[in-house]
Amino acid sequence: MADPEKKPLKPPSGPRPLISFALGGPETQPLITLPNTPLPPPPQWMQGLGHFAAAYLGAEGDPTAPIGSEPPSWPVLAGMAAGMLPGPRMLGALGRGLFSRVDEALKLLPLKGAHPNKVLSILKSNASAEELAFRKVPEWLAAQGNKAVTPEMLAAHLQAHPAPMPVVVTKGVSPADQAQKRVEQAQSALEEYLQREQAFSAHGVRDYTLDAARGELSPSQLQAAQSNPQQWALTQQLREAYEARRATGTTGATPTKFGNYTVPGGENYRETLLTLPARGGVSAAELRAMGPGPMTAEQIRAQAARGSVATPEFHSSHFDEPNIVVHTRSNERTLPTGERGRFVEEVQSDWHQAGKKVGYQPSAPDALPQLQATQRDGYWEVNTDQGDFVTNVYGSDAATPEAAIAEAQRRMYRQPMRTATDPRVPDVPFKENWPDLGLKQQLLETANDPEAQWLGFTSGQTQAERYDLSKQFSRVEFDAGDRQLRAFDHTGREVLSQTTGPEQLADYIGNEGAEKLLTSTPSLHPDDQTPLYSLTGVDLQVGGEGMHYFYDQLLRKRMEKILKPFGGTVERGALPTPFDYDRAQPDDLAAAVFQAARVGPAGSHLIDGKLPMGRYQTLTTQAQLAQRFRMAGNQVLLELPTSLRDAVTTGSLNTPSWIARLTPEMKARIQREGLPLMSLVPLSQVGAPPEDRR
């Protein structure tokens, strides 16, 4: 298939352009040209729209004042407004994506202005209260007194306080490869349609698609395409895919971290991080230059004025990138019906789960206290001048007491969770809607994939089994003295030995496991009398009800609410997954038997969560079955009902999951209309998400 980028650029034909609509950079060729002929005077509403666009886009003074040597015409200003206002965007990023309800509500305000109370009432009826608060709209309106607020005035405020639009970071799949794939798919779809409709000769079809990709269609071609909805949609899709690829460049894939935590099978595993961009930052070197004394409110304000102080950052225990609001893990799979789709393995927010535990900081501290550093064995202990403990700074982070104090100050301002002064996390939006944000990003990506026909996610049972430590270990212990984490399997063999601190335990045994371990009653190490924490038996069971609630109820209801405007729904499904019983470990084999017992064609074989086995139909738990496999091997399979034995030994199991099928019409609407960044009505009625169990 020809590469549109290898086609030589050609000068646009037709009349001299007055204005060009092209969104791919200065070298992009014009998409639309308008003849340079006298135009009729604009209607009054169009003049108002032009003034509104000029104000929103930051024009100073009279919007009809000269730009260069000639004044802008009203179609120019109207076009600027049309590209700014909500609604289907002609040729921007791939689809409309996420949009702000606050920005969209601007067009509902009277052009001549209205009382601040009326403006606030309109906004509250059409936009998220959380977004309004985040963008400081209520406070700004209150400061206007009784002065009429025009759309231009509010637009200027919103420009200075943008929506918390997340930045997407994808690991595991090359963005360049993804973008190139979308170009090829979009080009192929448009070519097939034109050939089927016999709109051009074979040579003409190729020329049309290349011109469409580069935005070089003539006005008559554009008019003809717009008169045919299907052709116009395919033309838009190709142009958008091409622009997205140009913007992507040659970026390669970045490595993933948790590819082992997936249902067996699947392709193109990826980890998607939705982050809020950092706004500047003060380094430890800058703080050290201020000396070991307290950082005053005046110093903080001075640093902020020159852009050196950022909003405090949040660092997840799972990824290195800061300020991750929510992350998802997903891959691609095929259902037994042959339908290809996206399968979400996990939706999680470390930031908001931590905020739920310890609370949110309302703002940065006004001043930092006087600190002093005392050298210990391999680290600096930093305390206030009143003797209150602040943090420990290890030698790798600081070689001198001044450097240790500077690092402690940086943590107090940027990473307060790493200190004992204020365990709360920085404030951040999406407190209730972070699951929706993760699902919406996955839905938008699925809608943009021409091959995808569904979007699904795991069941609560899958999650509970994935992170239940009792199925992997018989004992887990953490020695606080030598900072050593150890775990032993059911035969007593040590299978994990890792040097780590308490704050990194969740990376190995999950949040709930780490919390249970550190809150257990420790014994004292016989050598140095340091605390030795341990979990055994039923204390290792984590997940359970929380996972069932989050994935089987909350996520399902959130997805149904997101899809409802497009006519979609969520249904229970079974995902085929490969299983090699000859090589499976006893715990995995027992889990497979119980999984087959729950979702097999004969219905559930379980009685009160236990499996009847053998001649006397002895009720057996999953842990007991795993122990029997360890003692007797695969001969235990002969004691199972035939249907269960066949399900386990055929090489494929059915994993329960949730599936939302997406028709081509639904995907086109999602691309065209986009999804709101924040819900108009909070979804708190379905409850707050439980803690992560990994």
| Residues 6 or more apart whose Cβ sits within 8 Å of residue 307 | 279, 280
pLDDT-derived band at 251 (thresholds 50, 70, 90) equals low
Per DSSP, 90 falls in state: S
Return the half-sphere exposure (C-beta side, CA atoms, 13 A cut-off) of residue 243. 24
Residues 297 and 389 in one domain: yes
User: Three-class SS of residue 231?
Assistant: helix
Domain region containing 234: 178-248
pLDDT-derived band at 485 (thresholds 50, 70, 90) equals very high
Domain-located, residue 7: no
Give the model's pLDDT for residue 166.
92
| Residues 6 or more apart whose Cβ sits within 8 Å of residue 73 | 18, 39
Average pLDDT over residues 332-340: 92
Domain-located, residue 556: yes
Domain boundary among 137, 168, 199: 168
Residues 438 and 532 in one domain: no
Residues 446 and 508 in one domain: no
Domain-located, residue 482: yes
Residues 112 and 153 in one domain: yes
State pTM to two decimals.
Answer: 0.66
pLDDT at 368 over 50: yes
Give the model's pLDDT for residue 601.
52
CA distance 512 to 503: 13
Domain-located, residue 9: no
pLDDT in tens, 166-182: 989 889 977 777 778 77
pLDDT in tens, 272-297: 999 987 654 444 444 444 444 444 54
Residues 357 and 317 in one domain: yes
Residue with tokens 């993804």: 178
Residues 18 and 163 in one domain: yes
Residues 389 and 303 in one domain: yes
pLDDT in tens, 549-574: 999 999 999 999 999 999 999 999 98
Domain-located, residue 173: no
Burial bucket for residue 76 (CB in 10 Å: 0-12, 13-18, 19+): middle
Please tell me the least confidently modeled range out of 298-312, 361-375, 434-448: 298-312
pLDDT-derived band at 474 (thresholds 50, 70, 90) equals confident
pLDDT at 30 over 50: no
Give the model's pLDDT for residue 270.
94
Give the model's pLDDT for residue 84.
36
At 416, list the tokens: 């307060």
Domain-located, residue 5: no
User: Three-class SS of residue 156?
Assistant: helix
Residue with tokens 């420990």: 392
Roughly how many angstroms between the first and final C-alpha of the chain, as a whole number?
45
Give the model's pLDDT for residue 47.
47
Please tell me the least confidently modeled range out of 87-96, 413-422, 426-435: 87-96
Average pLDDT over residues 144-158: 94
Residues 31 and 88 in one domain: yes
Residues 192 and 152 in one domain: no
Phi, psi of 425 (to 5 degrees): -95, 160
Return the half-sphere exposure (C-beta side, CA atoms, 13 A cut-off) of residue 356. 15
Q: Average pLDDT of the chain?
A: 77
Average pLDDT over residues 474-490: 88
Domain boundary among 116, 147, 168: 168
Residues 393 and 500 in one domain: no
Domain-located, residue 139: yes
Domain count, the chain: 6
Residues 677 and 626 in one domain: no
Domain boundary among 133, 168, 203: 168
- Inter-residue contact 406 to 284 (CB < 8 Å): yes
Domain-located, residue 35: yes
Residues 200 and 242 in one domain: yes
Using left for φ > 0, alpha for ψ between -120 and 50, and beta otherwise, residue 14 falls in left
- Inter-residue contact 199 to 169 (CB < 8 Å): no
- Inter-residue contact 222 to 32 (CB < 8 Å): yes
